[in-house]
C-alpha cells in the first residue's frame, strides 16, 4: 500500500467523507483515489478558502471533511483560518503538499513556502510534517481523533521525503 | 425607481431587512440559512433568531461555500445562502463550483446595493458594469433571476427549498445598513446552529 492509499484508509477509519481540494501534482494520487471510491464525496474548489468554507458547512451538517491544497494555496487561507475555522472551533483536517523545499525550481514557491509554518504557529494551529510511511498512520489517525475531540483544526504537511516531491521538478533542476 | 445597470428594466429597488423578513416568514421546514458577513447576517438576526441560522462574523465571501457544505451533508434539508454583492464579487469562483455540483437543495440570494455599504458606501462593480445574474448563469447556475419586486420575491419564495435547486436570486436593494447587531460569540453560534441541524453534541451540561 502506498502513502496515498494509506492516508485515504485512515480518513475512512475516522469517518472523514468529504474531500474538497484545489489540485496539485503531488496530491494527484489522493485526489484520484478519493474520486474512485464511492465512500468519499469529492468536490473540486476554485480556491482554498472556498474549500475550507465548504468543509465548515459540511461539518456543521454532520459530515466530516478534509481539504487538500499546495503550499501556495495555503497562503490564501489565513483569513478563513483566523476568522472562521479557529474561532468557530471547526475541526478541519487540512492537507498541504509541501513545495518550495528539497528540490524546488520555482523561487516563488520557495518564498511562499516559508510562510506556512510561521502562519500556523502564529495562530496556534497544530501541524505535523509527514516524512515517512511508517509513522504516518499513527500521526494521522491520532491527530484526526484529537481534532474532533478538541474541536480544533490540524494540518498535515506532506514532505517530499514522503511523497517524492513534484514529479516535474527533477527535469528542471540543474 | 428602477436599477439602470442591468438588462432588466422592471427590477425595482428593494430593502434588505424587508426581503429578509419575507424570506424567514416563508420558512416552514427548518431550512438552514447561512448569512454572510456584515449587514446580511445583521438583518437575518433582526428578522428573528432561528436555531437553523448561521451568522458569519469574518471570512468574507464564504457564505455560499458554507451553505454548499451544509447542503451536501444534509441533502434532505433546504439550505439558503444570503450574501452581499461585494462579498460574492470576492468569491465568484464558488458559483462555478455550485454550478458544477448542482445541489438541488441550495438557494442563493444576493442582496445587491452596488456599494460596500458597511465600509463607507464605496462603489462596487455591480453599480455599473457587473450583472450578478448573468455571471451566475455563466457559472452554470442556469436558474438565476433578478427579483422584480416584493410580490415577485414572495412568489419565488413560496416553494420547497429541498428540491429544484440550485437557484440564485439577486435583488437590487437600497443603501440602508443592517438593522441589528448579531451576538459575536462564534463557538456559541456554531453550537446552536448544529443543534438546530440535529448534529450538536449532547452534553451533560445541557439542562
Q: Are A16 and A65 in contact (CB under 8 A)?
A: yes
How would residue B2 be classed by pLDDT, with cut points 50, 70 and 90? very low
The CATH number of residue A111's host domain is: 3.40.50.970
- On whether residue A127 sits in a domain, the answer given is yes
- Closest of A89, B77, A76 to residue B67, by C-alpha: B77
CB proximity B161 to A under 8 Å: no
- On whether residue A70 sits in a domain, the answer given is yes
CB proximity B56 to A under 8 Å: yes
Q: Are A27 and A95 in contact (CB under 8 A)?
A: yes
Q: Do A79 and B59 touch (CB under 8 A)?
A: yes
Summary mean pLDDT of chain A: 97
How would residue A39 be classed by pLDDT, with cut points 50, 70 and 90? very high
Minimum CA–CA partner of A43 in chain B: B101
Q: What pLDDT does B5 receive?
A: 58
Q: What pLDDT does B7 receive?
A: 67
Range of the domain at A130: 3-166
C-alpha B26/C-alpha B80 separation (Å) is 12
Q: Assess whether pLDDT exceeds 60 at residue B1.
A: no
C-alpha A169/C-alpha A1 separation (Å) is 24
C-alpha B80/C-alpha B67 separation (Å) is 7
Q: Do B186 and A61 touch (CB under 8 A)?
A: no
Domain count within chain A: 1
Q: Assess whether pLDDT exceeds 50 at residue A117.
A: yes
What distance in Å separates residue B24's CA from the closest CA in chain A? 20
Q: What pLDDT does B3 receive?
A: 47
Average confidence (pLDDT) over A101-109: 94
Average confidence (pLDDT) over B82-109: 98
How would residue B53 be classed by pLDDT, with cut points 50, 70 and 90? very high
- On whether residue A173 sits in a domain, the answer given is no
Q: Assess whether pLDDT exceeds 80 at residue B9.
A: no
Q: Assess whether pLDDT exceeds 50 at residue B4.
A: no
Please, is B201 exposed, middle or buried when counting C-beta atoms within 10 Å of its C-beta (0-12, 13-18, 19+)?
Answer: exposed
- On whether residue A174 sits in a domain, the answer given is no
Say which residues have a Cβ less than 8 Å from residue B177's Cβ, sequence separation at least 6. B39, B42, B117, B118
- On whether residue A89 sits in a domain, the answer given is yes
CB proximity A61 to B under 8 Å: yes
Average confidence (pLDDT) over A59-78: 97
C-alpha A93/C-alpha A52 separation (Å) is 9
- What share of chain A in percent tops pLDDT 70? 100
Minimum CA–CA partner of A84 in chain B: B59
- ∠ CA(B58), CA(A63), CA(A116), 5° rounding? 50
DSSP code, position B203: -
Q: Do A43 and B66 touch (CB under 8 A)?
A: no
Cβ-Cβ contacts under 8 Å, B188 against chain A: none
Cβ-Cβ contacts under 8 Å, B77 against chain A: 61
Can you tell me whether residue A63 is helix, strand or coil? coil
- On whether residue A51 sits in a domain, the answer given is yes
- Closest of B161, B57, B206, B72 to residue B118, by C-alpha: B57
Q: Assess whether pLDDT exceeds 60 at residue B130.
A: yes
Q: What pLDDT does B124 receive?
A: 96
The architecture that CATH gives domain B16-196 is: 3-Layer(aba) Sandwich (3.40)
Domain boundaries, chain B: 16-196
Which of B59, B93, B139, B140 would you mutate first to test chain A, the one with the most A CBs within 10 A? Answer: B59
Q: Which helix (H) or strand (E) holds B106?
A: strand B106-112
Extended strands (E) in A5-159? 16-21, 41-44, 64-70, 93-97, 126-130, 154-158
Q: Assess whether pLDDT exceeds 80 at residue B207.
A: no
Q: Assess whether pLDDT exceeds 90 at residue B206.
A: no
Sheet of A126-130, strand order = A41-44, A16-21, A64-70, A93-97, A154-158, A126-130
Please, is B166 exposed, middle or buried when counting C-beta atoms within 10 Å of its C-beta (0-12, 13-18, 19+)?
Answer: buried
Summary mean pLDDT of chain B: 95
Q: Do B65 and A53 touch (CB under 8 A)?
A: yes
Q: Assess whether pLDDT exceeds 80 at residue B72.
A: yes
Q: Assess whether pLDDT exceeds 70 at residue B60.
A: yes
Q: Do A45 and B97 touch (CB under 8 A)?
A: yes
Q: Do B58 and A87 touch (CB under 8 A)?
A: yes
| pTM as predicted | 0.97
Amino acid at each position: 500500500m502506498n502513502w496515498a492509499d494509506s492516508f485515504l484508509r485512515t480518513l475512512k477509519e475516522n469517518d472523514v467523507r468529504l474531500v474538497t481540494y484545489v489540485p496539485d501534482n503531488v496530491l494527484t494520487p489522493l485526489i484520484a483515489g478519493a474520486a474512485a471510491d464511492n465512500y468519499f464525496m469529492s468536490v473540486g474548489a476554485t480556491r482554498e478558502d472556498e474549500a475550507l468554507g465548504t468543509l465548515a458547512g459540511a461539518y456543521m451538517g454532520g459530515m466530516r471533511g478534509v481539504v487538500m491544497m499546495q503550499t501556495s494555496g495555503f497562503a490564501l487561507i489565513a483569513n478563513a483560518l483566523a476568522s472562521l475555522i479557529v474561532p468557530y472551533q471547526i475541526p478541519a483536517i487540512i492537507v498541504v503538499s509541501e513545495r518550495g523545499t528539497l528540490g524546488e525550481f520555482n523561487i516563488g514557491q520557495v518564498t511562499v513556502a516559508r510562510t506556512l509554518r510561521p502562519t500556523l504557529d502564529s495562530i496556534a494551529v497544530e501541524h505535523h510534517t509527514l516524512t515517512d510511511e511508517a509513522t504516518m498512520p499513527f500521526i494521522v489517525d491520532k491527530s484526526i481523533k484529537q481534532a474532533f475531540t478538541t474541536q480544533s483544526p490540524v494540518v498535515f504537511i506532506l514532505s517530499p521525503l514522503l511523497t517524492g516531491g513534484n514529479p516535474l521538478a527533477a527535469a528542471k533542476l540543474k | 425607481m428602477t436599477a439602470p445597470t442591468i438588462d432588466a428594466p422592471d427590477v425595482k429597488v428593494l430593502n434588505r431587512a424587508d426581503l429578509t423578513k419575507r424570506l424567514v416568514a416563508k420558512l416552514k421546514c427548518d431550512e438552514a440559512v447561512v448569512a454572510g458577513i456584515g449587514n446580511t447576517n445583521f438583518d437575518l438576526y433582526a428578522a428573528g433568531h432561528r436555531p437553523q441560522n448561521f451568522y458569519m462574523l469574518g471570512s468574507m465571501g464564504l457564505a455560499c461555500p458554507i451553505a454548499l457544505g451544509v447542503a451536501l451533508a444534509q441533502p434532505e434539508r433546504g439550505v439558503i445562502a444570503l450574501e452581499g454583492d461585494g462579498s460574492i464579487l470576492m468569491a465568484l469562483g464558488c458559483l462555478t463550483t455550485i454550478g458544477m455540483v448542482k445541489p438541488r437543495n441550495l438557494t442563493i440570494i444576493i442582496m445587491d446595493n452596488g456599494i460596500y455599504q458597511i465600509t463607507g458606501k464605496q462603489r462596487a462593480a455591480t453599480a455599473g458594469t457587473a450583472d450578478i445574474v448573468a455571471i451566475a448563469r455563466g457559472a452554470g447556475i442556469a436558474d438565476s433571476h433578478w427579483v422584480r419586486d416584493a410580490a415577485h420575491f414572495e412568489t419565488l419564495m413560496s416553494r420547497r427549498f429541498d428540491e429544484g435547486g440550485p437557484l440564485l436570486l439577486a435583488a437590487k436593494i437600497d443603501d440602508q445598513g443592517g438593522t441589528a447587531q448579531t451576538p459575536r460569540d462564534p463557538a456559541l453560534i456554531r453550537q446552536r446552529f448544529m443543534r438546530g441541524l440535529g448534529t450538536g453534541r449532547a452534553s451533560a451540561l445541557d439542562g
